[in-house]
């Protein structure tokens, strides 16, 4: 299910399920003209990382082909974080998402109840009405 996973990655790029995470500086560092002292906390934010046009040209466009081949460079696509504290559930999450997609696509024709339903971030992006769907089994067609 390579294309399904590429489409899922592109969905997570545009709507990262986790907004980011915190790190505590273990030494003074300088970054981009700012000094962050040892002991301070820094928050990395996945959404702004994912919208960098240097790595994702035309960043507002939904384009699963961005993940073809070797995909984006390391640490530019971080829905599961990165480094030693990267989400240990990422492969399990991939399997659950693909099993879900497979079953929905294989067994049902589905459509959105409200095609204009808004997404609100609190800060995790969620459909405002819970994304109600119409599901019709293929066997009924
Ligand atoms: C789409 C699903 C998921 C997303 C987007 C996600 C995202 C994340 C992110 C961004 C982090 C922080 C990584 C960092 O600090 O660099 C994290 C940490 C973590 N996630 Fe997930 N996660 C998902 C599913 C899961 C699942 C299914 C599990 C367990 C079965 C899981 C367990 C954990 C744990 C234990 C941590 C803390 C790791 C640590 O601090 O060392 N996650 N996740």
Residue 62 DSSP code: -
Give the pLDDT mean for 73-82: 95
14, 16, 87: which to mutate for ligand 1, most atoms within 8 A of CB?
87
Task: Give nearest CA residue, ligand 1 atom 39.
Answer: 85
Percent of the chain with pLDDT over 90: 82
Q: Pick the atom of ligand 1 nearest to 20's CA.
A: 10
pLDDT tier at 141, thresholds 50, 70, 90: low
Residue 116 phi, psi dihedral angles, 5° rounding: -105, 15
Ligand 1 neighbours (beta carbon < 6 A) = 17-18, 21, 79-82, 85-89, 92-93
Task: Give nearest CA residue, ligand 1 atom 8.
Answer: 80
95 Cβ contact partners less than 8 Å away, ≥ 6 residues apart: none
Two tokens, residue 31: 């970054």
For residue 139, pLDDT beyond 90: no
For residue 122, pLDDT beyond 90: no
118 CA to centre of ligand 1 in angstroms: 26
pLDDT (tens digit, 9 = 90+) per residue, 16-69?
A: 988 899 999 999 999 899 999 999 999 999 999 999 999 999 999 999 999 999
pLDDT tier at 121, thresholds 50, 70, 90: confident
Greatest mean pLDDT among 14-18, 66-70, 136-140: 66-70
Give the pLDDT mean for 111-120: 93
DSSP 80-122: T--GGGS-TTHHHHHHHHHHHHHHHHHHEEEEES-TT--EEES
Q: Give one word for 76, left, alpha or beta, with left for phi > 0 and alpha for psi -120 to 50.
A: alpha
Q: What CATH architecture is 2-140?
A: Orthogonal Bundle (1.10)
Q: Pick the atom of ligand 1 nearest to 78's CA.
A: 10
Task: Give nearest CA residue, ligand 1 atom 30.
Answer: 89
How far apart are alpha carbons 63 and 60 in whole angstroms?
Answer: 9
Q: What is the pLDDT of residue 131?
A: 93
For the chain, what are the domain ranges? 2-140
Q: What is the pLDDT of residue 140?
A: 65
């Amino acid at each position: 299910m390579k294309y399904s996973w590429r489409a899922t990655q592109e969905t997570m790029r545009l709507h990262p399920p986790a907004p980011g995470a915190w790190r505590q500086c273990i030494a003074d560092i300088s970054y981009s003209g700012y000094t962050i002292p040892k002991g301070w906390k820094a928050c990395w934010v996945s959404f702004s990382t994912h919208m960098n046009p240097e790595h994702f040209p035309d960043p507002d466009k939904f384009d699963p082909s961005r993940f073809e081949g070797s995909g984006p460079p390391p640490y530019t696509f971080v829905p599961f974080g990165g480094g030693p504290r990267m989400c240990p559930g990422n492969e399990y999450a991939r399997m659950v998402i693909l099993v879900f997609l497979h079953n929905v696509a294989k067994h049902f024709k589905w459509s959105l109840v409200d095609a204009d339903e808004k997404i609100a971030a609190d800060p995790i992006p969620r459909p405002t009405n819970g994304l109600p769907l119409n599901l019709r089994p293929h066997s009924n067609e």
